[in-house]
Structure formats: C-alpha cells, structure tokens
Structure 1
Amino acid sequence: MRFTVPEPAFVAIVGHNGCGKTTLFRALTGQLPYQGSVQVLGQELRTLQRPAASGLLAHLPQRGSVEFSIPVRDLVVMGRFRHHHFLGAYQTQDYALADAALARVGAAHLAEQDFTVLSGGEQQLVWLAQLSLQDARLYLLDEPTQQLDVYYRRRVFDLLYSWVTEQQRTILCITHDLDNLAALPAGYLLNLSAPTPVLERLTPATIRAARQYLESEESLAVRR
C-alpha cells in the first residue's frame, strides 16, 4: 500500500474490524516495526526516537485510561508537555489554553471534576481537549466518536475539521461514523478493506461506495 497525504488534510480511514486500521497507527507511532518507508514532512519516522516530543505527531488511541484521581483541568493541561522542560511547572497561560480547549469541545463544565468518575463520552471529550494542546503537525485519532451521542459526534467532527482549515493540521482519523463524514465539506477517504486501498476524495459517492463495500463484507462474514 502506498499513498501520499497532502498537507493540511482530513483523512478518514475506514474498514471492517481486523483489516489493519489500528495496526497502521501502531506502526506510525513506533509501536510496531514496519517495512518500507513512512515519512512525515520529509522525515522518516523510524529515525525519530520521540515523534510526539518533537511536535511532529500526536496520537489519541481508541481507549485511554487513567488509574489515579486527577482533576480534568490538570489532565488537559498536560497536552502542553513538550513546551516545558522535564518536571517544569505549568503556568497561568497553559491553564488558560486548557480552559479554552475544554470550552471548544463543550466540556468546560467538567474542568474541576475528577476525570475517573466521568462517563466514557465525557472522558473522550477531555482527551480531545488535551490532544488539541499538543500542537502537532499530524494527528492520529482512533475512533474518536465511538462513545459519544449524536450531538457530540457532529461537534467532534466539526472540531477536527477546524484543526485542518484554521490551524493547518493534518488528521488521520479511524472511524465507522460514515454518516458524519458525509457532512464534512472536504477531505479524503482510505478504505483499508478494499483489495487495493487508495486515497480518494471524500465525496457522497465515495462514502456511499465504502458503505456498500463494508456492508457486503459484513454480510459475507456472517454467511461464513
């Protein structure tokens, strides 16, 4: 598989379960070895020891977890980690940015709450707020709307698209939410379930084709 993503861009990565979507992200984040070449802004990823620390990429996995009590605001501000020396204290301006990030995802009211007692959907909004503060060139998001209701799914996709258009970021987003993809003004689609995955323009026609292909694959799996 070979593809080149223009910058900035929103790329929706779709496919049936087990087709390699999360595996692709694990390779991009250095968690799995890979053959071939993966370059971001002309830099080969395997030569970078800490791509996140360099500001090159940021990753939101499918299921984040925190094993200790922490106020939401303190968790979000950690997205500013690469702007500080190790163990450096966060400043007033960092917390102001954290508050603004929470407001953008509709979670300002959660700022003082304990993250561990929030619902799954609320926690996902907090993770998105933290991710936005990492100020990366490339964002990798694995199913960012899977635990959210209809209203927040639409809000999250609008937010991600604003990162592309307003902040000139590039986003690779694994998702099954084809309905909300159809509402985006522009972007690209990569169907990893296709025999030969290629990067296509995100249009009603390509979304419809992807939906039909995925539904046919699911039907085939059931019959098997």
Structure 2
Amino acid sequence: MSGVVDVQLFISAFVTLFVIMDPPGTVPIFLGLTGSMTRQQRTRAARQAILVAFGVIVGFALVGQSLLDYLHVSLPALQAAGGLLLLLVAMELLTGKMDGSDTQVATQGNVALVPLGTPLLAGPGAIVATMVLVQQAEDPPQWGAIALAVVLVHLCLYLSMRFANAIHRVLKDSGTMLVSRIAGLLLAAIAVQLLADAVLAFAREL
C-alpha cells in the first residue's frame, strides 16, 4: 500500500478534506434544499451534486492556479464570491422561498449544481486545500494519496446525502421544514465566516 500511495499524506489529506467538506454537516442543508423533492429526485440530486463537486475539485487541482492567475483572481476573491452565493441561498431557506412547489419545480435541477455541488461541497476551502496538496506533491505515491483521499471523501458525502432519505421519512414534511430553517441559519453562518475570512485575507495582503 505504501508503495502505491503515501499513507501519511493520504491520512492528512483525507482528514483535512473530510473536516472542510463535512459530510455529516451536509445532511440538514441537503434536506433543506431538497425537502420538497421526491425520493428519486433527491437521490438524483445527490448524485449530480457529488459529480459536480468532484469535477470542480479535480479541475481546480489540475489547472486551478493557472486559471486564477490568468483571470487575475485571488483566492480571497474566490472565497468572498462563494460566501455571497451561500448567503443568498441561506436567505431563501430562512424565508421559506424554497418550500413552495413552484420554486421546487424551477430549481430542483439547479440546486444539485448550485449551491450543493459548488460552493457548498466544492467550496473555496476544499478547493484551496486540494490545490495546496497538489502543489506540494512530488511523486506518484503522493499524487495517488491525494487522489484516493478526494475519492473517499466524495464517497462519504454521497453516502451522507443518500442517508438523508431515511431522515426525511422520519421527520416528515413538517420536520423537514424545521430542518430547512436550521440549515438556513447554519448556511448563513458559514457564508458570513467565508466573507470574514476573505476580508481578513485582503487586509493581510494590503
């Protein structure tokens, strides 16, 4: 195993990405965003969100730094943009704008992409952490360790969101509505923290 992947780097990368992407913490937010979907729609949304998140993480790992340099975009700017987007979604959850069937029909194909896939799962923190890990890797075992860590964390995320179906059956619609309000509050806190971190990063650069 150690000849194929760097075990120490794998453990470090897996723990780092697991903490940042927080599979258990995505369950209430996932329920809040998909509460009015059917079980099949929720399963499809989970699958799409994971594919989007995985694609974004891998894409930024390979060409992210070059892309940001070309566009003259700093990492704090990316972080602030993600925070603003999450704050808008949080306000919709808190005000109940995502509870109605009309809104659900209009957005059920989109919430899997934005904000679930990105910036919730593949957010600035996960993107930056992966980019840093890739830049520090020097040989195939280290690259293999990072790749395996990314795949396993996304598997954990998928299982967490699939488990949300069982939670929804227990909570029913009224419980899911309550969870969506709590998720909106948590998501707003995450968004504000992203914005605060971005402002502090900008201040340090100045």
For the aligned pair, the TM-score class normalised by the smaller chain equals under 0.3
TM-score normalised by structure 2 residue count: 0.24
More helix by share: 2
More strand by share: 1
